[in-house]
Structures are given as C-alpha cells and as structure tokens.
Amino acid sequence: MPMWEFTAVIWSLSALAGFLGALTGLGGGVIVVPALTLLLGVNIKYAIGASLVSVIATSSGAAAAYVREGFSNIRIGMFFEVATTVGAIVGAMLAGCVGTHALAIVFGLVLVQSAYQIMFKAAPESAAPVAPDALASRLRLNGSYPVGGESKSYGVCNVPAGFGMMFGAGALSGLLGIGSGAVKVIAMDRAMRIPFKVSTTTSNFMIGVTAAASAGVYLHRGYIDPRVAMPVMLGVLAGALLGAKVLVRARVRTLRIVFGVVIFALAAEMIVNGLMGRI
C-alpha cells in the first residue's frame, strides 16, 4: 500500500474513532488500536502509542467545546482524577502478579451488563433531578447544563461509590493496559445519577489527563511513530470536533444506544482476548 493511501486510511478510521469517542466519552482508542493492529498490521505497541496521542487529541478537542458549552463538570473531573490516578498506579504495581486473562473476561461480562442497563434500564433524562447528598454539597460537585436553551440543575449522590468505581477504573487501566472511559461514564451515570450528557463530556475531559501521563512513557520508550501518530491525531481531532457539535443537539436516548453498542463491541473484544490469552 502506498504511503499516501496508508495515511489516508489511518486518517479516515481515526476520524470515525474520534467522532464516536466524543459522543460516548470513551476516547478514540477503543477503535484506533484494533483498527490499526487488525486491519493495517501495525505493531500493537505503536498502535497503543498512537492511540494515547489520539485520546489527548479527543480530550483537547471535544473537552474544550464541552466546557465552553457548559456541559463538562470540571470539579467532578479533577476530584475523580485523584482516584483514577492512584488506581492506575496500584494496577500497574499488581500487573506482574495478577492473572489478567480471567480479569479481562470478568471485566467484559461486567461491561455487557452495564451496557444493557444504560440502554434499557436507565431513568429518562426528563426525570426530576436526584437530591444531592451532604458530601457532594460540601465538595460543590452539583452543577447545571444547558437543555433546550435553558440551564437545568442536577444533584450528585453516592460520591463514595463513584470514587471507588473511579479507583477501579484506574486499576483496570493499569492492569490491562486499556482506557477506562467506559467505567468512568458508568460510574457517573449509574452510581452517581449524573445526567448522561454531563457524564460523557466530563469523561472526555478526564481521559486526556490520564493519557498524557501514559503517552510520556511510550514516547520515552520510542513507541510513538510520527508516521502513524500524526494522521491518527489529526483524524481523531477532526472527528472529535464534529462529535462535539453533534452531541450538543443529539437526543439522550440516541447517545445511550451509541454508547451501548460501542461498549458491547469493547466487551466482546475483551472477552475474546481474555479467552485467547492475548491480555
């Protein structure tokens, strides 16, 4: 395949990944890594390096738009980054002594159940906001977001449960070498009862911080190839900016379906890789 064609294919796949990543809060790595390795034969370490760059691009491109529009809750994002960072360190320390094959299978099954709950069992977005608990009020985690040209307030509850799930998301990321955006969105949407659009946009804000630290390690080890990373970054950034514009106007039900489908695909990949011993 000529270099220009290879670059164009990578850019197209990355634009799709960025679009879905911006809509779901998962980052583009969910699609970029398997696309580069399975479809184009790129070494997985270089694919992960390019994916980390793409996640930073997704977060930088989409998160800036979401903050400007008033969707992302920056206080929640920064508070829970503490949990995910500590969890990632613990997970990385345990990676050498914990069997990850079975863990990947269990994680995949949990994602299947979570996707089903989000798609079919979630409370309607028009439901009355939950009453904030005392800890959320003390930390000033409650907020508001635009709905139909008006500002709609929401409360945050079950902060300890959400913090624990964020720690688990970071630990899984360190153990399995995967992005943890799926668990972050599920924690905010299901455990803390944060509106889905706020959950996905805040997740977009958070994943860039985590990916930036990991990308530094991959850059130091020489696993970020500009010939791969550059078209991935540009494609994901273009897709993320388009996804940010679509999300502002999209129906929440549609976003939940897109999120569920992507999570089902991610779960299947995790289970298959776990059964075949690739993780």
Tell me, what's the pLDDT at 163?
A: 92
Inter-residue contact 268 to 115 (CB < 8 Å)? no
Tell me, what's the pLDDT at 176?
A: 64
3-state secondary structure of 269: helix
Please tell me the pTM assigned to this model: 0.74
> 117 is in which domain, residue-wise?
3-275
| Number of structural domains the chain divides into | 1
Q: How far is CA 189 from CA 54, 61, 133, 165, 208, in A?
A: 24, 23, 16, 12, 20
DSSP assignment string, 24-53: HTS-THHHHHHIIIIIS---HHHHHHHHHH
Mean pLDDT by 10 residues, the chain (279 residues): 83 85 71 78 80 74 76 88 83 68 74 73 59 86 84 89 87 67 81 86 79 73 85 85 79 79 79 76
